[in-house]
Structure 1
Amino acid sequence: MSMNLAPYATRWQDSRGRLHDEAPSRYRTPFQRDRDRIIHSSAFRRLINKTQVFISPEGDHIRTRLTHSLEVAQVARAIARTLGTDEDLAETVALAHDLGHTPFGHTGEDALDEMMAPYGGFDHNDQALRVLVHLERRYIDFDGLNLTWETLEGVVKHNGPMVTPESGPDRLPTTIRHYNENQDLRLDEYASLEAQVAAIADDIAYNHHDMDDGLRACLFTVEEVCDQVPHVGAVFQKLRTDHPNVEESVLTAVAVRQLIGEMVDDVVEETKNRLKHIAAERPEDIRTADQQMVAFTDTMREKERQLKAFLFKHMYRAPSVNAERKRAYQIVCGMFRHYLKYPDKMPAEWQANNQALVRRDFGRDTARAVADYIAGMTDRFAMAEAVKLNV
């Protein structure tokens, strides 16, 4: 199975294994088993009602965290295949990358981080690890999903090293710091090429799909984005010239697909150049490199910056979205204060879970259990709880 892989690819046969030993599968690689465990987890299913930007949107076509994760996984597999790396590991990290997100997108995370400031803070990547190694309780012999070292490494540091000369281990988020004491994730190094692929696939997917959702929600027009983001305008202009009679919704779908394709091509070529520059011949060469190997060219990075700036102004901070964000912030903060004061009002399973984590020298305070409970909520459940609690 590894004969078609590049020399710098991660090979499942060389996996550093799982924290808790398990018998191997007869038919699936360790990374394929990791992927399947994530897909069958409760946290993954809940992503269907967690949103990217909009709060519990009414329309059927607006993306959720679940559809976004599937789209990221598809882009990651495509890039990994082209680069000759392990597609299953890239897909697995892509599917797991949003498991730690709260209800109401980044607004919910900001609110929880403020509430948790006296108790170690809140970070969605740290929460994703917490879900994977503690909160998912589906096995008799251990908490969590007992994923491979390579998958956990990818989830934790797909955006780069977490321990740097400027940021030592004492500043690590709570769960990552504690878990790293039991299984060294080499936090001062880069992640595998597969994890880096998953990270950039996330950027590629959400930029263009958020633009698509913003157009569907009428937060801005095609003309506005074309006027302010030149490379997007160039694609639309050519499509309109070549296909003058095609309806706008179809042209938008084609444009989004082409823009994603351009980014994928750019990433592949830039990554190949960087790999050639360091003469990468083994997976360790990726981890010990002096920069991320999977990246955009400077030209494409500027195009991405322009699109992000447009979306921030016209979508993420649009008046209608800001109104939803304000209410979402109030809901999360109100629920946190309520459950911190009345922890017995949380479901019995969450109270038991907190006691189990305390016994394992993890999550010693009630606040962390409250954060776990709220972070796992879907948008709809959180809004229903807010009504019930009158917060």
Structure 2
Amino acid sequence: MNWEQLLSLKRYGDTHKRLRKEQNETRLGFEVDYDRIIFSSAFRSLQDKTQVIPLSKTDFVHTRLTHSLEVSVVGRSLGRLAGQKLIEKHPHLKDTFGYRMNDFGAIVAAAALAHDIGNPPFGHSGEKAIGEYFSHGNGKRFKEQLSEKEFQDLVKFEGNANGFRILTENRPGITGGLRLSYSTLGAFTKYPKESLPHKPSRKIEDKKFGFFQSEKAVFEEVAEELGLKKTREGKDIGYARHPLAFLVEAADDICYTIIDFEDGINLGLIDEDYALEYLIKLVKDNINTTKYNQLKNTADRLAYLRSLAINTLITEAADIFIQNEQTILDGDFHQSLFDMSSYEAQIKDIIKISIEKIYQSEEVISKEIAGYRMLSYLLDIYTNALLPEEKSVDSNFTSLVLKSVPQLEPLQEIDSVYDKLIGICSYTASLTDGMTVASFKKYKGQSL
């Protein structure tokens, strides 16, 4: 892979090549990507989607929206830092093609901003609720009507693949989704493969999948334009990651490691003194003890340590990226940047505490259980409305359901069972936590 291709400004539907040296410096194409994402309705819905605590009423807790904004800020810094070193290392990128270090920052920031845009309500339990509806619930009845890969898309419903769908989906009057640059779409896709074959692998890019069968052709076009290295031949599609996807992943890793931990402290789920001790271990080589000792309250000490930790990890991640640049470009780098971190032990300790004290807390588990049941019920409502069982009779209730959800009405005109089902799942995943509760109560007759 080479940077000249990987930094493509092409968008869906372009009939001519966009050149970086011809870009208007006041509004660069990569920066347009960021704007289009942040003004999209899918992004705005993240303000009512779970990051740590579902349906939390406290101002302390991050939503998917605030988390995504923070990841984008970290990603921008990471991209610029790596970009500065790459331009120094490969001066022709600037001299011949016109690229600047800020271009790398803009691509990573836009991809990072969108990284959670396809996630269902109620966090990862929402993904499992959708998947298990088809593997163990009433959705099993569709298995014989689908190809193996189509069914796998449903039983292993993946927020990353749904995000790619949202960013690229053709809708009436709108072609190419948000029409982002292919560079941003490439950096967004952490798992550039389809849902099958699903084989245990040490390669991080094989951990999940990045696109549904409905967007397979779109991703192939993006991958070809970017020159991504093929990792599979024949009917099974897989590619090496776009190099900047490693920086997007690192930005996310930094934020959920440090900031979810901070949420746990603010919620009283993690003891303050205990938590500060773990953060100090992470930044002990860079801490200004004189400044730290002048801070008299916990909030100020926590803010100082958080800022120092994020800066420390950004600097190290950029260094690891540059040190392994050629291996990454060759498509032979198969781990996250932080798997090579000198702070790996400290990071693992913090994540372990977050899992025990936050993600597995009674409040989180009880709300995820409720969300799981609600999503399963809504999927029953929507699939029965659009794909009723043969013996069922059209009812006024079904008609009212479709009228109440205009987004599902276009699916009535589609013949493909798979396209209807993936459309239903994508719509269900677009619901916020609050909308899920409200829809559940409405169909249960509890909202009057």
Shorter-chain TM-score range: 0.7 to 0.9
Q: Distance in 1 between matches of 2:286 and 2:365?
A: 29
Structure 1: tracts of 5 or more residues without a match: 1-6, 279-284
Call closer, same or farther: CA 1:54–1:332 in 2, change over 3 Å: same
Aligned to 1:131: 166
Aligned to 1:200: 250
Aligned to 2:216: 177
Given the alignment, which residue of 151, 168, 172 partners 2:184? Answer: 151
Q: Distance in 2 between matches of 1:104 and 1:141?
A: 29
Do 2:185 and 2:222's aligned partners in 1 also have CA atoms closer than 8 Å?
no
Structure 1 residue 229: Cα displacement: 7.2
Q: Distance in 2 between matches of 1:245 and 1:229?
A: 15
Call closer, same or farther: CA 1:155–1:145 in 2, change over 3 Å: same
Structure 1 residue 336: Cα displacement: 1.2
Aligned to 1:349: 406
Structure 1 residue 239: Cα displacement: 5.6
Q: Distance in 1 between matches of 2:51 and 2:4?
A: 31
> What is the TM-score with the length of structure 2 in the denominator?
0.72
Call closer, same or farther: CA 1:10–1:76 in 2, change over 3 Å: farther
Given the alignment, which residue of 337, 345, 350 partners 1:295? Answer: 337
Do 2:38 and 2:44's aligned partners in 1 also have CA atoms closer than 8 Å?
yes
Aligned to 1:37: 36
Structure 1 residue 381: Cα displacement: 1.0
Given the alignment, which residue of 207, 211, 215 partners 2:265? Answer: 215
Structure 1 residue 253: Cα displacement: 1.2
Call closer, same or farther: CA 1:199–1:155 in 2, change over 3 Å: same
Do 2:281 and 2:346's aligned partners in 1 also have CA atoms closer than 8 Å?
yes
Structure 1 residue 8: Cα displacement: 6.8
Q: Distance in 1 between matches of 2:198 and 2:375?
A: 35
Structure 1 residue 238: Cα displacement: 7.5
Call closer, same or farther: CA 1:266–1:238 in 2, change over 3 Å: same
Do 2:120 and 2:159's aligned partners in 1 also have CA atoms closer than 8 Å?
yes
> What is the TM-score with the length of structure 1 in the denominator?
0.82
Aligned to 1:67: 66
Aligned to 1:322: 365
SS at match of 1:382: helix
Structure 2: tracts of 5 or more residues without a match: 84-100, 141-150, 232-238, 387-397
Structure 1 residue 22: Cα displacement: 6.3
Whichever of the two has the greater Rg, that structure is: 2
Given the alignment, which residue of 373, 379, 393 partners 1:336? Answer: 379
SS at match of 2:343: helix
Given the alignment, which residue of 234, 243, 254 partners 2:304? Answer: 254
Count of aligned pairs? 369
Aligned to 1:281: none
Q: Distance in 2 between matches of 1:331 and 1:235?
A: 48
Structure 1 residue 164: Cα displacement: 8.8
Q: Distance in 1 between matches of 2:336 and 2:221?
A: 29
Instruction: Find out whether 1:364 has 2:382 as its counterpart.
Output: no
Given the alignment, which residue of 93, 99, 110 partners 1:92? Answer: 110
Do 2:287 and 2:308's aligned partners in 1 also have CA atoms closer than 8 Å?
no
SS at match of 1:289: coil
Call closer, same or farther: CA 1:237–1:220 in 2, change over 3 Å: farther
Q: Distance in 2 between matches of 1:314 and 1:322?
A: 12
Q: Distance in 2 between matches of 1:231 and 1:379?
A: 36
Aligned to 1:15: 8
Q: Distance in 2 between matches of 1:201 and 1:379?
A: 25
Call closer, same or farther: CA 1:225–1:141 in 2, change over 3 Å: closer
Amino acid at match of 1:19: Y
